[in-house]
Structure formats: structure tokens, C-alpha cells
Amino acid sequence: MALIITPRQLNQRAQFYYQLGQLSGAGIGLINGLEMVSKNPPAGSYRKPLEQVLLQLYGGSTFGDAVQSTGTWTPSFDLALLRAGEHSGRLDSVFKMLGDYYTDRAALLKQMIADLTYPAFLLHFAVFILPFAEFFSTGNAMVYLLKTFGALIPIYILAFGIIYTAQSRRGLGWRTNLERVLRPVPVLGAARHYLALARLSAALEALIRSGVNIIEAWDMAAAASGSPAMYNTVQAWRPRVLAGQTPAEAVRIATSQFPELFANLYHTGEISGQLDDSLRSLYKYYSEEARGRLRLLAQWIPKFLYMCIAIMIAFRVISFYQGYFKQIQDAGGF
């Protein structure tokens, strides 16, 4: 498992799902499709996990269990969606959905990296150039290194920690705590929540359309959402639904996880017998809302960092000249 996920790796994952989706859509069986992809995978690192998946399938395992046997190679919410797609007989739709998801993630990450290039250059330029006057006058290399690399190393550690913790391959406990911390964050918290609602809607629509029991469908769709809080909410209401409460009534009560729009559309679909259409509409709506907020973040995070760096540089320059003029005054220059 890679410590840091790059746009190239995300595009490779998207290509992998697109290939499987195209083969499934063309009527090629899952095992034959995986065999074809394994011969020409998006990356060499895919060969061993695909061999493991095929070995499990040859032995009679389900696709979900076969993918799970590869360990952390597949993120947990990918696995949940794949299980839902296998159970509903709509793996081709799930493959396309995951391909679109990773394509969007790769594009957003690539844009953010490109936008961060100039602020990063400006930060390094400021860190190395501002203490240079003192180094030039004193010749003390140790102090210069402490003021430059001593400032950059903590920044590198912080950036690495943020990137590492934000990735989707962490364990359930880690993801639960991360979700709890990020949920109140403006824009980002809403984007993550809308993305979870979109995944849940898509998985639920596929499962219901295939005739899966509504209670089991909600369990599987909640797992596919990728949100531990949403999954826990669905598990908490399960006894009430088994006792006769409708899922629409349960959704209306769980306002912290399901917005009013979701509750109203789901209720309308349930009483009209067109729940699959309502869920499809919810998937489209929340997917677009999540993408819009994530694009906004990708645009404004670099701008915010640029402003912070510019303010830091201005403060350091002003401080330098204040110290310089103070030295002149103390020396009797004025």
C-alpha cells in the first residue's frame, strides 16, 4: 500500500474499473474479464493482487470475498460498493461509478498540486532568502541551517501527516475519528457528507432494483457510503425497522445524517412505488454537489496558502527593517 496517493495512481485505479466495466458491459464474464485485465493491467503493481483475486474466484469465492483477500489493496468503501454490485447483478454500473469517482479525484488532486506549485516555491524562496543577510554578515552556517531547514522540516512533516491521514485506506476507527473531526469544517465537511449520500443512493438503487430485501439493502448501501457515522445510524434504527417502522420514517428522524431533501425524496419514492427513480435523482444531485465543493476546495486552498505565505514574508521583511533601523539608531546613526 502506498503511503501517499498520487494523481497517476488514482488514474490507474480509474482505468482499472473502466476496463472491467467495458468488459462486463460487452457481456464478458467477470473471471474472463479479470484474466484479460491481468495480462495488460494499468500498472505492474496490479498483477499480484489480480492473481490473488482470480485464485480465490477459481476456488469458489465470491467476488467481494476475493477482493477482500487482497488486504488493503482495495479501499473499504470500494469493497462495499463492489459487494453491493455483485449482490444486485449490476457490477458494470458499479465499475463505471468507481471509475468516474477516481477520475474526478485524480483531476482535483492534479489541479491542487499545480496550483500549489507557486506558493510552495514562494515559501522556499522566503525561508532561504530572508535569513541570508544575517548569514552573509555573520558567516554562521549552523544558525542559517537552523532557520531554514529547521523551519521547513516541521512543515514537511505536517503536510505529510495531513495527506496520509486523509486517505481512504485507513481502518474503521481512524476513519470514524477523521469523519468526526472534518464534519464541522466548512465546505470540506459538506463535500464528504454529500459524497457519502451519493454512494449510498447509488448502491441502494442498484440493490432495490435487483430485488434485495430493503433492510439488507440499507445495510449494504450504508457500508458502501464510506461514512462510519452513516453506517452506525442505519444499524441503530435496524431494530425499529424490523419492528415495523418504514425506512422513510427512520430517515426523517435521523436528521443529522440525512438532509430534508433526501428524506422528502425518499419518502415520495417509497409511497409512489418509484423509489429507484428517486434514488437515482438523489445520486445525481449529491454527486454534483460534492464535486462542486471539492472543486471549490481545490481552487481556494492554494490561494489561501499563498495569502498566508505572502503575509509571512511581509511580516519577516518588516521585522528585518525594524531591526535594521533600530541597530542604526542604537549606533547613533540618527
What does each of the 334 residues of the chain score in pLDDT, given as a tens digit? 454 678 899 999 999 999 999 999 888 999 999 999 999 999 989 999 999 999 999 999 999 999 999 888 888 768 878 888 888 788 888 898 889 888 988 888 888 788 778 778 878 887 888 787 777 777 788 888 888 888 888 888 887 776 666 665 555 666 777 788 878 888 888 988 998 999 899 888 888 877 778 888 899 889 888 889 999 999 999 999 999 899 999 999 988 899 999 999 999 999 998 998 999 899 999 989 988 888 888 788 778 877 887 787 777 777 767 766 777 777 665 4
CATH of domain 107-334: 1.20.81.30
CB neighbours of 156 closer than 8 A, spacing ≥ 6? Answer: none
Residue given cell 479501499 in the structure block: 75
How much is the pLDDT for 1? 47
Q: What pLDDT, on a 0 to 100 scale, did the predictor assign at position 217?
A: 87
Query: Which residues contact residue 14 at a Cβ distance below 8 angstroms, ignoring those fewer than 6 apart?
Result: 98, 99, 100, 101, 102, 103, 106
Q: Are 279 and 266 in contact (CB under 8 A)?
A: yes
295, 286 Cβ separation under 8 angstroms: no
DSSP state of 4: S
The helix (H) or strand (E) run that includes residue 5 is none
**Whole-angstrom distance, CA of residue 90 vs CA of residue 177:** 32
Q: Which three cell numbers stand for residue 219?
A: 445495510
> pLDDT tens, 205-228?
888 877 778 888 899 889 888 889
Q: What is the reported pLDDT for 169?
A: 57
CA separation (Å) from 35 to 19, 23, 38, 81, 231?
Answer: 12, 11, 5, 21, 34
Helix (H), strand (E) at residue 255:
none
Question: Where along the chain do the CATH 1.20.81.30 domains lie?
Answer: 7-99, 107-334
Tell me, which fold does domain 7-99 have in CATH?
A: Receptor-associated Protein (1.20.81)
The predicted structure's pLDDT at residue 308: 80
Give residue 227's identity as a one-letter amino acid code: S
- The DSSP-derived string for 31-77 is HHHHHHHHHS-SSGGGHHHHHHHHHHHHTT--HHHHHHTTGGGS-HH
Angle at 324 between CA 321 and CA 330, to 5 degrees: 140
How far is residue 22's CA from residue 33's CA, in Å, rounded to a whole number? 9
Which residues lie below 8 Å from residue 297, measured CB to CB, with a gap of 6+? 108, 112, 187, 188, 191
